[in-house]
Amino acid sequence: MASFLLIVQSTFTLKILLLILAGSLFGMIVGAIPGLNTTLAVAIAIPITFYLEPVEALALLSAVYKNGIYGGSISAVLLGVPGTPAAACTVRDGYAMAKKGQAKKALDAALYASVFADVVGNTILILTASWLAQFALKFGPSENTLLVVFALVVVSLVGSSSLLKGLLASIIGLSLAMLGMDPMTGSPRFTFGNINMLSGVTLIPTLVGMFALSEIFVEYSNFCHAKAEGKSVDVPQDKKSRLSLKEFFSYWRTLIRSSLIGVFIGALPGSGPSTASFISYSMAQRSSKHPEEFGEGSVEGICASEAANNGVCGAAYIPLLTLGIPGDTITAIMYGALVLQGITPGPLVFTQQGDMITGLYVTLFICSIFMLVLGKILCRTLTNVLNVPKGILFPVIMIICFAGSYSMNNTMYDVLVMIIAGVLGYIYKRIDMPIAPTLIGFILGSQMERSLLQSLIKSENNLSIFVGSPIAIAFVIIIVLMVGSNFWKLMKAKKQK
């Protein structure tokens, strides 16, 4: 116990606290700006870690990471644009609430849910790290394929009012994922001989285009219509809405379920915050007492989405530390930073570098506290963004979209992708088609294809691999039950008409 206290004491140094503060602020702001994402923020922080001790380096990177994921929800609520792909689900309810003048409440929900899940994730990391890691290793290609199919099914069946539109949106997303290099052999598909298309459609510009640019188009056409009819378009004033802790904790079931989904997905190498938030949102809608509120401004929906994506953060450390296998792109960057420090993550890191690990755990909790405090302060000031006249706000957003899309890869191709995605998003919004299934189909499309190919190679084209393990069988049963129950509900509803 004494040595633990010593470690805690050595972690509460001014330097570490300042690093966490700077990292949190930087991460939150970058996460909130559409077009820039958390991976970029973490990558920028790497050269700074060259001059730091291991625990300090991890503290900085963790702060940037966690706050970056949370920061995506800020622009999701205020601007209707997810700052990071993981916040795409938060847009639906968050932005709807902002339009109703309840922006502060939505921001509060996102913040509390993120912090809650962060703490849960940290705790599970500390208590079960190696066990969970061993379990994650049991996820072979067939299990991964089924997981992706499960995610797609869940999101398509539940995400919207019209089943047909949801499925269509998923298929469009999957088709978009096919553009570019074949995930296995690298042979080009639908690239029209253009080398830029080898990587297919880039994710962030598509995200920014479909959510942000399309919204600007929609708002502009609404404005034109309103002007034509002589009405004035007023800016929703934010009524001093707050989220009471009592109301927040009334959703404890959703919070715990979403955090656990986040932790589970985060522990699997390869899956990320977006998958977790989509699955969690859809599951929450299925089991909610007020499913019709989802999409119109449900606090529960925001909690589900944000808890899941932050739950992933804590769990992503599990495969990183115990197996030396990064759980997602950002932990892959952290892996590089650790290697640069001379630390080899893997089975021996707990015995050989036990002190560093304990120090890391402590800093993770400090990060959560900072996130809560900074989040509250930042949100209070940022809500004033809503009071900016749209004539000024939207052009600024547009500039940020263009600049952000360009900055990832320094190429105008990405900007072109963003514009086309914007037009597509506009069409979606006009015909009331949900964007979320397209996004998840796009994100998961290549993963599913890869896992499917790997499964078939492993089993030498024998389909029984998909029921070849307890995990796989469990997934198959769940998927069949979900589809079955949806169809049954449909049949019942038709009979009643």
Partner 1 sequence: MKKVIVALFLLVLVLPCAFAQGSKEAVSAEVEYPTGPVTLICPWAAGGSTDITARAIASVAEARFGSPVVVVNREGGGSTIGTQEVALSTKGDGYTLLVGTINALAVLPHTMGLAYSPANFKAIGQVCSRDMGIICTADKPWNTITDFIQDAKANPGKYLVSCPQGGLQNILFQRLADMTGAQFRVYPVNNDTENLTAVLGGVSDLGVPGSYDVAAGQIAAGQVKVLALFSDKRAASLPNVPTLKELGFDLSFAPWTSLLVPASTPDSLVEKMRGVWREVIQSPELAALLAKNKQKPDYLDGAETQLTIEKQFKDFGETIKSMGLAAK
Query: Is the four-CA dihedral 368, 374, 380, 383 of positive or negative sign?
Result: negative
Backbone angles phi, psi at 37, to 5 degrees: -130, 175
User: Applying CB under 8 A, which part among 4-12, 118-126, 161-169, 330-338 lies near partner 1?
Assistant: 330-338
Taking CB under 8 A as the criterion, the residue among 323, 360, 440, 448 binding partner 1 is 323
Which residues from 224-253 bind partner 1, rule CB under 8 A? none
- Helical residues (DSSP H) of 80-197, grouped into ranges: 88-99, 103-137, 141-158, 163-178
Taking CB under 8 A as the criterion, the residue among 5, 14, 47, 389 binding partner 1 is 47
Spell out, one character per residue from 59 to 98, where the chain touches partner 1: x when CB under 8 A holds, - when not: ----------------------------------------
- Alpha-carbon distance values, 200 to 159, 189, 417 (Å): 26, 9, 10
> Toward partner 1, which CB reaches closer, 44 or 473?
44
> Toward partner 1, which CB reaches closer, 404 or 434?
404
Q: Where do we find the tokens 């949370």?
A: 70
Output the CA angle 452-455-460, nearest 5 degrees.
Answer: 125
461 binds partner 1 (CB under 8 A): no
**# of chain residues touching partner 1 (CB under 8 A):** 53
> Toward partner 1, which CB reaches closer, 195 or 228?
195
128 binds partner 1 (CB under 8 A): no
Of 433, 442, 424, nearest to 151 by C-alpha is 442
Query: Is the four-CA dihedral 188, 190, 193, 197 of positive or negative sign?
Result: negative
317 binds partner 1 (CB under 8 A): no
How many Cβ atoms are within 10 Å of 202's Cβ, its own excluded? 19
Give the three-class secondary structure for 161: coil
User: Applying CB under 8 A, which part among 2-10, 25-33, 68-76, 197-205 lies near partner 1?
Assistant: 197-205
Task: Check: CB of residue 80 under 8 Å from CB of residue 212.
Answer: yes
**CB of residue 52 vs partner 1: minimum separation in angstroms?**
13
Which residues from 426-455 bind partner 1, rule CB under 8 A? 450, 453-454
**CB of residue 357 vs partner 1: minimum separation in angstroms?**
13
CB-count exposure of residue 191 (10 Å: 0-12, 13-18, 19+): middle
Spell out, one character per residue from 342 to 381, where the chain touches partner 1: x when CB under 8 A holds, - when not: x-xxxxxx--------------------------------
101 binds partner 1 (CB under 8 A): no
> Toward partner 1, which CB reaches closer, 113 or 333?
333
Helical (H) or strand (E) element with 188: strand 188-189
HSE-up of 468 (CA within 13 Å, CB side)? 17
464 binds partner 1 (CB under 8 A): no
Binding residues for partner 1 (CB under 8 A):
39-40, 42-44, 46-47, 50, 137-141, 181, 183-188, 195-196, 198-199, 202, 269-270, 323-326, 329, 332-333, 336, 339-342, 344-349, 409-411, 450, 453-454, 457-458
